[in-house]
Amino acid sequence: MPIQNPFQDPLRFERRVPECVVVIFGANGDLTKRKLVPALYRLAYDRRLSAGFAVVGISRTAMSDDEFREKMLDSVKRFSEDTKFDSDVWDAFAGGLFYIAGDIGDKDLYERLAKRLAEIETSRRTGGNVMFYLSTQPSQYASISSGLGSAGLGKGDGWRRLVVEKPFGHNLESARELSDRLHEVFAESDVYRIDHYLGKETVQNILAFRFGNGIFEPLWNRRYVNHVQITAAESIGVEGRGAYYQEAGALADMIQNHLLQVMATIAMEPSASFRATSVRDERSKLLRSIRSMTPDEIRQNTVPGQYGPARIGGQEVPGFRQEPGVDPGSQTDTYAAATFFVDNWRWAGVPFYVRTGKRLPKRVTEIAIQFNQAPLRIFENGDGASAPNLLIVRIQPEEGISLKFLSKTPGSGMKLRPVSMDFNYGSSFGERSPSAYETLLLDAIIGDATLYTRQDMVEASWTVVEPIQEVWRNTKYNFSNYAAGTWGPAASDDMLAQRGHVWRKP
Amino acid sequence: MSTTISPDRILKELAELWVTTSKEGAGDAAAGVLRACSMTLVVLAEESDDLQALGETVAALMPEHPARAIVVKLIGGQERALSERVYQQCWMPFGQRRQICCEQIELTASDASLEDLPSVVLPLTVPDLPVILWCRTSRILSMPGFYRIAAMARKVIVDSYGAADPEAATLRMSVVSRSGVLLGDLSWTRLTRWREMLSQVFENQEYLARLQNIRKVRVGAEEGLAVAARLMGVWIRNALSAAGIQTELEVTPAAPGGPSLRVELSGEGIGVELVREEDRLVITVNGLSNCTNLSRPTDYLLMREELAIVRHDPVFDRTLESAAALVYPSDK
C-alpha cells in the first residue's frame, strides 16, 4: 500500500490540513468568538480545510448544535477582519460545527465527547485525528487533560494534539507542575503552547530577514550592535479585565512569554535548518543564556510601574487603582521594563532593554537595534551628524522594517541628516497577511510546531522572570508612578541613562 | 511613429515622473510615494488583443508583484517600426496614506523590428531583478527572433489555450523547454485547482489505501482545453506510475453539450470523477459527491500564480516532456 499521496505538489498547492476534528474547550468564551472560529472560517474560505473538517465546541452553557452555529455565524460576521462573508462557504463550514454542554470537572462530559467524536469520525471520515484546544481558565488545563486521558481520548486511531493558551503556569514550579500533568496524557511533542506573537508575519519575517540575507548576520553581534530595545506598548487600559490583570501584571502577562520569545527570535543563533526542532532548540538555547539577576541587580535593572489617572484627548481616564474590580491599594505592575544581558559570545555586554505597559501614548510593538557609531566622526557640522544607525522591526500596527542612516543634506557644504528607508510589509505587498491565529491553527493541525513554545522554553523564561517577580512582590512601591498617556515612569528612563542610553519614542 | 527608441530618454522620463509624483504628494506631510519593485514584467501582445483589459490585468498584478511593466504591442508588418510611451500607475492601499506607484512603459513594434526589441528592452529592465516575459500571442514562439527575446528573461509564460494544433503546440513548448528556457504555460496553471482537489481526495487514508487498484485514467475536454487535457492525463499517469501503479490513459474530446473538462480515475473499489459544472467543480468519490466553487480563472489569477514561481517547476517540466512524448513517441 502506498504510504504517501503521489499527487502532492508543494510548489503549487496551498498547505492544507488533514481531515480532523478540533475540539474547543471554552467555546462560549471571547477567544473562540473573536479569534478561533473567525480564523477557522477564514481557512475554510481559503479552501485550506478538508471536506470532513469538524469543530466540537464545549462549554457550560446549554446550547444545541444549531444554536452554536448561529452564535458562531454572528462571531464570524462581526470579527472576521478583511474577509468577505460567503454564505456557501459558511454553510459547508457550519455543517461541521457541533456543540456539547457540560462541566469540565464532570466525567460524563468526556464520555459524551468520546461518543460524539466516534460519530463524527464515521460520518465525516476524520481519520481519528483530533486537536483539543483549551481556551479556558489556565487553572482548568490540568483537569481537562486528565479528563481526556481518563476517557481514553488522549490516544486514538489518528493523531491527538493539545493546544494551550498562555499563561503556562504563574512561576517556574507551577509551569513544571502543569507540564507534568499534561504529560500524563500527552507527549511533549503533542503539546502546542500557543504564543500568538510568534504567529505574526513580521516575527516570522525576522527569521527570513536574518537568515535569508547574507548582509545582516555579520553585523548581528556585540561588535556592531550597541544595544537593543524591545517595546510593546498599549494605549488602552485593562478594559474590564482588572480582576484578571491584577493577578497577572505586565511582567508575567507580556514579558515572560511574548517579549522574551521575540527577544529570542532576534538574538538566537542561526539554526541548521528550518525544522521545528532546530529552530526551537536555538530559541531555547538563547532563553537559557539570559543572565539571571541577583536582587540588587534586579533593583538596578528593572522598573515596575502603574498608571495613574490623567486627561487624554479631552477625556478623563482613570488610574489602574480606580478601574472596576481593582484593589485601591493594588501593587500590580501595569508597566514593566527590564535590562537583560545574554551570556554568550555573540551578545556579551550588549543590553537588551525590554518594556511593556498599558495606557502608554500609542499602541505599538517594535524592536530597535541600535548600532555603534562610526569609529571616527569626521562630520560634525550637521544637526543629526551623530545619529546612530537604527534598524527597526515593527511588529504592529504597521508591520515593516526601517533602516535609519545618515545622508548628505542637498546643497553646498557637508551637512548630514538622518533618513529612513522603509519597507512596509502591508503596502509593499498588496496581499492580505494571514492573522496569527490562522497561521498557528494551520501549523498545529499540520503538525508543525516551529512557532510554538516548548516546555524547556517556558521554564527558561520563568527562570529569568521569577526572581524579578520575587523582588517586586517584596517591595512596596509608591504607585501610581506614571500618568496614563505617558511613556512610563521616570525610573525607566534612569535605568537606560545609567548606560548612556535613552528610550526611543516609537 | 518613430523608428528608433532611446532607452536613456525613457529612463529619464521615468525618473522625472517619480519626482513629479513625489512633489504632488508633498503637500500632505504624511503622504509620500513608495516605490516597490520585485521584477520586470515584459508583455508581448498583439495589436488585436484587448489592450485595455490587459492594462487592467497588469495593474491588478502590481500590489502582489510590484514590477516595472513593459508592454510591447505587436503590429505586424515588414517595416521596421518602434515607438514608446511612459506612464505610472499609483494606488493608495486601503487605510494607508502613502501611495504605491509602479511604472509602465508601452512599446509598439512591428514584426520586422522584433530583432531590435532586446536592445531596447534590456536597458529598460530593473537591474538585479528577474525579467518575466509573458507571451500573449502563440505565434511569437515560432518567430525567428523568439530565442533572442526569451534569452532576456528568467521565465517565459505562454498560454496554449485554444491552440489550433494542440499537438504541435505541445511539441513546440517541449522544444522550447528543452532548449533551457524556463517555461510556464497558463493551460497548466488552469489545472492547479483540479490537481489540488484530486490530491485532496487521496489525503483520506481510506481512499489512499485503494489507490493501487486504479487501472484507468480518462480525461475528456472541449477543444480549447486540448493541451490542458493531455497535461492533466499525463500528470495523473506519471504520479501513479511513480507510486508503482500502471494505468491506461485515454484523452478524448468532450461530448457535445457535456462538461468542458472531465477527469475520471477508476479501478476495483475506487471511482473518482471531477467534473466542471458551470462555476463549480463536482468531485465524486465512490458515488459520494462534494462540490466546491471553481470560477473560470482570469488572466489575473493565472498570472498571479505563475509570477510567484520564478524557478523551474519540476512537475510541469516532467509532465510537458511526457505529453510531448505521447504526441510524437519518437521525438527525442
What is the per-residue pLDDT for B86? 63
Distance from CA of A226 to the nearest CA of B (A): 30
State the DSSP string of A405-427.
EEEEPSSSS--EEEEEEEEEHHH
Q: Residue B100: its chain A contacts at CB < 8 A?
A: 427-428, 430
In the 8-state DSSP scheme, what is residue A127?
A: T
Q: Which three cell numbers stand for residue B91?
A: 494606488
Q: For chain B, how long is the longest CA-to-CA vector? A: 73
How far apart, in whole angstroms, are the C-alpha atoms of residue B199 and residue B240?
12
CB A44 within 8 A of CB A89: yes
Residues 6+ apart with CB under 8 A from B319: B188, B231, B234, B235, B238
pLDDT, residue A101, reads 96
Q: How far, in Å, CA of A16 to CA of A194, rounded?
A: 20
* Cβ-defined contact of A2 to B244 (cutoff 8 Å): yes
pLDDT score of A427: 56
For residue A482, give every residue at least 6 positions away whose Cβ sits within 8 Å of its Cβ, in sequence order, or none: A305, A306, A307, A308, A335, A357, A488, A489, A490
Paired with B285 in beta bridges are: B272, B288
Q: How far apart are CA B70 and CA B40, in angstroms?
A: 7
Indicate whether B255 pLDDT > 90: no
Q: Which set of grid coordinates corresponds to residue A248?
A: 497577572
Is A36:A133 a contact under the CB 8 Å cutoff? yes
Are A450 and A279 in contact by the 8 Å Cβ rule? The answer is: yes
- pLDDT given at position B89: 62
**Could you say which DSSP state residue A350 is in?**
-
Q: How much is the pLDDT for A46?
A: 82
Strand order in the sheet with A302-305: A302-305, A335-340, A352-357, A225-233, A364-371, A390-396, A400-408, A416-424
Element (H, E) at A33: none
For position B31, what pLDDT does the model report?
Answer: 44
Read off the pLDDT band of B35 (50, 70, 90): low
Predicted pLDDT at B25: 56
Interface of B with A (CB under 8 A): 34, 36, 62-64, 66, 93, 96, 98, 100, 192, 195-196, 198-200, 202-206, 208-209, 211-212, 236, 239-240, 242-245, 290, 292-293, 305, 309, 313-315
Q: Is A133 helix (H, G, I), strand (E, B) or coil?
A: strand
Q: Per-residue pLDDT tens for B202-242? A: 988 888 999 999 999 999 998 889 999 999 999 999 999 99
Three cell numbers at A426? 502591508
Q: Quick check: B80 pLDDT over 90? A: no
- Is the Cβ–Cβ distance between B180 and B154 less than 8 Å? no
Phi, psi dihedrals of residue B7, rounded to the nearest 5°: -55, -35
Question: Residue holding cell 505586565?
Answer: A250
Minimum mean pLDDT range among A132-146, A150-164, B92-106, B179-193: B92-106
Q: Which of residues 372-431 of A touch B (CB under 8 A)?
A: 422, 424, 426-431
pLDDT of residue B61: 87
Cα B254 from chain centroid? Answer: 24
Per-residue pLDDT at B175 exceeds 50: yes
CB < 8 Å to B239, chain A: 6-7
- As given in the structure block, the three cell numbers for residue B27 are 503637500
Which pTM value belongs to this model? 0.79
Stronger pLDDT, A408 or B158, i.e. the higher one: B158
The set of cell numbers assigned to A31 is 477567544
Residue with cell 502608554: A360
Contacts of residue B36, Cβ cutoff 8 Å, sequence gap at least 6: A427, A428, B66, B100, B102
Of all residues in chain A, the one with the smallest CA distance to B62 is A430
Q: Which amino acid is at B28?
A: D
- Is the predicted pLDDT of residue B105 greater than 60, yes or no? yes
Residues 147-206 of A with CB under 8 A from B: none
Q: Half-sphere exposure of B259 toward its Cβ, with a 13 Å CA cutoff?
A: 17
- Which residues of chain A carry a pLDDT beneath 50? 1-2
Residue A359 φ/ψ region, left for φ over 0, alpha for ψ in the -120 to 50 degree band, beta for the rest:
left
Question: Distance between CA B217 and CA B203 in Å, rounded?
Answer: 19
pLDDT number for residue A52? 86
- The C-alpha atoms of residue B290 and residue A321 are separated, in whole angstroms, by 57
Residue A501 is among the residues annotated as catalytic for this protein:
no
Measured between beta carbons, the chain B residues lying within 8 angstroms of A424 are 34, 96, 98
Q: Cα separation of B304 and B307, whole Å?
A: 5
Q: Contact A6/B242, CB-based, under 8 Å?
A: yes
Residues with Cβ < 8 Å from B184, sequence gap 6 or more? B155, B156, B157, B158, B306, B309, B313, B316
**What is the distance between the terminal CA atoms of chain A, rounded to a whole angstrom?**
59
Q: Where are the alpha helices (DSSP H) in A56-103?
A: 65-79, 87-94
Nearest-angstrom CA–CA distance, A227 and A370: 5
Choose among A401, A320, A402: nearest CA to A360: A320
* Confidence at residue A418, expressed as pLDDT on a 0 to 100 scale: 77
Q: Distance (Å) from the C-alpha of residue B45 to the closest C-alpha of chain A?
A: 26
Question: Is A335 in contact with A489 (CB distance < 8 Å)?
Answer: yes
Q: CB under 8 Å to A180, separation ≥6 — which residues?
A: none
Residue A482 is placed in which grid cell? 506614571
Confidence at residue B95, expressed as pLDDT on a 0 to 100 scale: 46
Q: How confident is the model over B60-66, as a mean pLDDT?
A: 81
- Residue linked to cell 522550447: B176
* pLDDT, chain B, mean: 83
**DSSP structural state of residue A449:** -
B37 or A321, greater pLDDT: A321
- Report the C-alpha gap between A167 and A245 in whole angstroms: 12
Provide the pLDDT for residue A505.
86
Length of chain A (residues): 506
Tell me if A11 and B315 make a contact (CB, 8 A cut-off): yes
In chain B, what residues touch A429 (CB-CB under 8 Å)? 63-64, 66
**Using one digit for the tens of pLDDT, what is the confidence trace for A294-342?**
999 999 999 999 999 998 877 888 999 999 889 999 999 999 999 999 9
The cell 529569568 sits on which residue? A464
What is the per-residue pLDDT across B7-31, written as a single tens digit (0 to 9) for each?
Answer: 777 777 777 776 776 666 554 444 4
Residue B90 CB-half CA count within 13 A: 21
Query: How many Cβ atoms are within 10 Å of B322's Cβ, its own excluded?
Result: 19
Mean pLDDT of B292-305: 88
Phi and psi dihedrals of B220, rounded to 5? -120, 135
pLDDT of residue A211: 92
Whole-number Å distance between alpha carbons of A235 and A321: 17
Q: Of B322, B222, B63, give the one whose Cα is nearest residue A424.
A: B63
Rounded Cα distance between A435 and A96, Å, is 22
Residue tagged 521575540 (cell numbers) = A262
CA B266 to the chain's CA centroid:
31
Name which of A9, A51, A422 is nearest B315 (Cβ-Cβ). A9
Chain A residues whose CB is inside 8 A of the B184 CB are none
Distance CA B233, CA B212 (A): 17
Is residue B322 within 8 A of residue B173, CB to CB? The reply is no
Per the CB < 8 Å rule, is B64 touching A6?
no
Could you write out the three-class secondary structure of chain B? CCCCCCHHHHHHHHHHHHHHHHHHHCCCCCCCEEECCCEEEEEEEECCCCHHHHHHHHHHHCCCCCEEEEEEEECCCCCCCEEEEEEEEEECCCCCCCEEEEEEEEEEECHHHHHHHHHHHHHHCCCCCCEEEEECCHHHHHCCCHHHHHCCCCEEEECCCCCCCHHHHHHHHHHHHHCCCCEEEHHHHCCHHHHHHHHHHCCCHHHHHCHHHEEEEEEEECHHHHHHHHHHHHHHHHHHHHCCCCCEEEEEECCCCCCCEEEEEEECCEEEEEEEECCEEEEEECCEEEEEECCCCCHHHHHHHHHCCCCCCHHHHHHHHHHHHHHCCCCC
Residues in chain B: 332
Which grid coordinates belong to B17?
515622473
Domains and CATH numbers, chain B: 7-153 (no CATH), 192-293 (3.30.360)
DSSP A499: T
Contact A479, A331 (CB under 8 A): yes
